[in-house]
Amino acid sequence: MIRGINNALRRIPVWAVWLAGAVPFAVLLWDIFTGGLGVDPVQEVEHRLGQTALYFLIGGLAVTPLLRLTGVSLMRFRRAIGVICFAYALPHVLAWVVLDMGLLWGQMARDILKRPYLLFGMGSFLILIALAVTSNNLSLRRMGGQAWRRLHKLVYVAAPLAAMHWLWAIKVNEIAPIFWAAVIALLLASRLVIRRPMSWTRPARS
Amino acid sequence: MMKLNWSDVTPHRIFLDRRKFMAAGAAAVALPGLVRAQTINARPSPLSTDQTPNTFEEITNYNNFYEFGTGKEDPARNAGALTTDPWSVEVAGLVDRPGSYGVEDLAPDNALEERIYRLRCVEAWSMVVPWIGVPLASVLAKVGVQPSAKFVEFETLVRPEEMIGQQRAILDWPYREGLRLDEAMHPLTILATGLYDQPMPNQNGAPIRLVVPWKYGFKSIKSIVRINLLEREPVNTWKQLQASEYGFYANVNPQVDHPRWSQATERVIGAGLFGGRKETLMFNGYGDQVASLYAGMDLSVNY
């Protein structure tokens, strides 16, 4: 069964993932131009971009536990998932800078230093920049596999920071940010608990 | 800092027509069967701002009313379930004539005034709302405040079967707010029963709510069922939840930041995607009228 799923997955070209990743952005553009963003379009644009980035970040984190637990491999798509995450994080930050803060650089700088949720968000974003610019074969070759892998393990820091960024920004306990923070904690913990593929994922010797 | 709005791109007349059309559409959705039938004629007040109010659609679809959910659209979606008639407000504490009052007793039709006020939320956004209501001072005069009373406490209805946000303990229900007596007696402070020429929409705090325009929006408690005159400072819900972030006075003050976001500037609802920010004014621009209430107080302590 797993082999069947993996064979089917192998037939999906990576560009299909890129295309799927563009769908939330297309929907957002559609809503911007048709007035579907409600009374406060600035906040809606900002929040949707940020949430979509987080969902792709979680998607990228889920690839390894899924492989170890079930044997289903999405490894071929992981780089695309990660870069799509950054492709939402970048306009999320730009939406904050341009639309929300209106380019008030002084206030933005003071706010980032003073407010934990912005500091967490910026920390996560800086890591994502480093991961995104090295997400190509040339960087992998130049840095060497070991160093490249070490760098990309920083995603284990970026994800909790992004979750705290959301949690710290809200006024009362809301379900969505708590749920996604728990999912991130679970995915990271699973890496410690499940260190190698489970026995049932290995195909029986023929 | 306020740059071009989308409204500057569209010819003004067409823009106005479109707003009218959208407002009518929103009203049609909100009040099926009685599309803007009940119009209220309130007399204009010199205390109104001459700034252009936000549209009916904006004011009624962007609300913080956690009794109906924490999202800004939740109240418009969920508040329709609330029964606002019959309604009574219990007046208690240090008053000469305590008891149960109807909305019409507190805010009779012939006393209604239109008060176009700026509204500044602690979340750093703002709008302009044409309220209809009566001065709170007139209500307090009616019930007879005793000399020992120093504070007024207000409470919102608790009815979880109609107010679905109350089915979770996100706040300590009922929502409570309070004013010092001189703040309550100030001519700017009103009890509102309508907006534009309509009875108060449920999501905006029907049938009767407080409006204190120089304080952050959360002070202006909605759907009031109890007014209590006290000698001591009452506890208000947000201060109770997080005293480091929300004070009792909650005056709009660009110099005192909320710990998690700056209060120096605000985003104007309706300004469009590239509306930018404008500077927040002390006491939300009502300083000339209310600053004297706080003479001698350290507003970074009493925030």
pLDDT above 70: residue B240: yes
Phi, psi torsion values for B89, nearest 5 degrees: -115, 125
pLDDT band at B24 (very low <50, low <70, confident <90, very high): low
Residues 6+ apart with CB under 8 A from B17: none
pLDDT above 80: residue B286: yes
pLDDT band at B36 (very low <50, low <70, confident <90, very high): low
- The answer to whether residue A206 sits within a structural domain is no
In chain B, the percentage of residues whose pLDDT exceeds 70 is: 88
Angle at which helices A14-34 and A41-70 cross, to 10°: 160
Quick one: pLDDT at residue B27?
55
- Dump pLDDT digits (tens) for B96-130: 999 999 999 999 999 999 999 999 999 999 999 99
- The answer to whether residue A204 sits within a structural domain is no
Residue window 2-41, chain A: list those with CB within 8 Å of chain B. Answer: 32, 38-41
Quick one: pLDDT at residue A204?
57
Quick one: pLDDT at residue A30?
97
Q: Where are the alpha helices (DSSP H) in A35-103?
A: 41-70, 78-94
pLDDT above 60: residue B220: yes
Contact status, residue B163 vs residue B155, Cβ threshold 8 Å:
no
Contact status, residue B76 vs residue B203, Cβ threshold 8 Å:
yes
pLDDT band at B257 (very low <50, low <70, confident <90, very high): confident
Cα separations in angstroms, B87 against A178, B83, B106, B225, B303: 37, 8, 12, 8, 33
Quick one: pLDDT at residue B17?
57
Which chain B residues have a beta carbon less than 8 Å from that of A171?
70, 123
CATH number at residue A34: 1.20.120
Range of A77's domain? 2-199
Quick one: pLDDT at residue B130?
98
- The answer to whether residue A113 sits within a structural domain is yes
Distance between CA atoms of residues A55 and A88, nearest Å: 10
pLDDT above 80: residue B216: yes
Report the DSSP pairing between strands B89-93 and B224-230.
Answer: parallel
- The answer to whether residue A66 sits within a structural domain is yes
Cis amide prior to B174 (ω within 30 degrees): yes
Quick one: pLDDT at residue A172?
85
For B37, the token pair is 């039938």
Quick one: pLDDT at residue A173?
85
Q: How many contiguous H segments (helices) and E segments (strands) does chain A have?
A: 10, 0
For A13, the token pair is 């070209």
Neighbours of B72 (CB within 10 A): 20
Residues 6+ apart with CB under 8 A from A159: A57, A58, A61, A124, A184, A187, A188
Quick one: pLDDT at residue A132?
98
Q: What is the mean pLDDT of residues B262-270?
A: 96
**Residue in B62, B260, B273 closest to A39 by CB:** B62
Quick one: pLDDT at residue A205?
57
Neighbours of B172 (CB within 10 A): 11
pLDDT above 60: residue B2: no
Quick one: pLDDT at residue A201?
79
**Residue in A40, A102, A172 closest to B1 by CB:** A102
Pairwise CB contact (< 8 Å): A40 & B170: no
Q: What is the mean pLDDT of residues B163-184?
A: 97
Distance between CA atoms of residues B220 and B191, nearest Å: 9
For A84, the token pair is 């799509």
Which chain A residues have a beta carbon less than 8 Å from that of B270?
39
pLDDT above 60: residue B45: yes
Residues of chain A with pLDDT under 50: none
- Dump pLDDT digits (tens) for B159-173: 999 999 999 999 999
Distance between CA atoms of residues A157 and A149, nearest Å: 14
Distance between CA atoms of residues B200 and B210, nearest Å: 12
Distance between CA atoms of residues B36 and B27, nearest Å: 7
Quick one: pLDDT at residue B6?
47
In one-letter notation, the amino acid at residue A2 is I
* Cα nearest neighbour of A95 on chain B: B273
Residue-by-residue DSSP string for A111-146: HHHH-HHHHHHHHHHHHHHHHHHT-SHHHHHHH-HH
Pairwise CB contact (< 8 Å): A172 & B58: no
Quick one: pLDDT at residue B70?
94
Pairwise CB contact (< 8 Å): A39 & B265: no
Least confident of A111-120, B36-45, B149-158, B206-215: B36-45
Q: Does B15 touch chain A (CB under 8 A)?
A: no
Closest C-alpha to B106, from B86, B136, B130: B136
pLDDT above 80: residue B150: yes
Quick one: pLDDT at residue A49?
98
H/E stretch holding B137? helix B136-143
Q: How far is B3 from chain A (nearest CA, A)?
A: 10
Quick one: pLDDT at residue B110?
96
Q: What is the mean pLDDT of residues B244-253?
A: 95
Work out how many domains chain A is built from and give that number: 1
Name the one residue in this structure whose structure tokens are 């536990």: A65
In one-letter notation, the amino acid at residue B245 is E
Cα separations in angstroms, A65 against A30, A99, A119, A192, A193: 35, 38, 29, 10, 10
For A99, the token pair is 């639309």
H/E stretch holding B294? none
Contact status, residue B130 vs residue B53, Cβ threshold 8 Å:
yes
Quick one: pLDDT at residue A18?
97
pLDDT above 50: residue B33: no
Strand, coil or helix: B197: coil
Cα separations in angstroms, B262 against A98, A109, A123, B204: 17, 11, 20, 26
Contact status, residue A54 vs residue A182, Cβ threshold 8 Å:
no
pLDDT above 90: residue B224: yes
Q: How far is B50 from chain A (nearest CA, A)?
A: 22
Q: How far is B101 from chain A (nearest CA, A)?
A: 33
- The answer to whether residue A205 sits within a structural domain is no
In one-letter notation, the amino acid at residue B205 is G
Q: Does B257 touch chain A (CB under 8 A)?
A: yes
Phi, psi torsion values for B122, nearest 5 degrees: -65, -20
Quick one: pLDDT at residue B21?
57
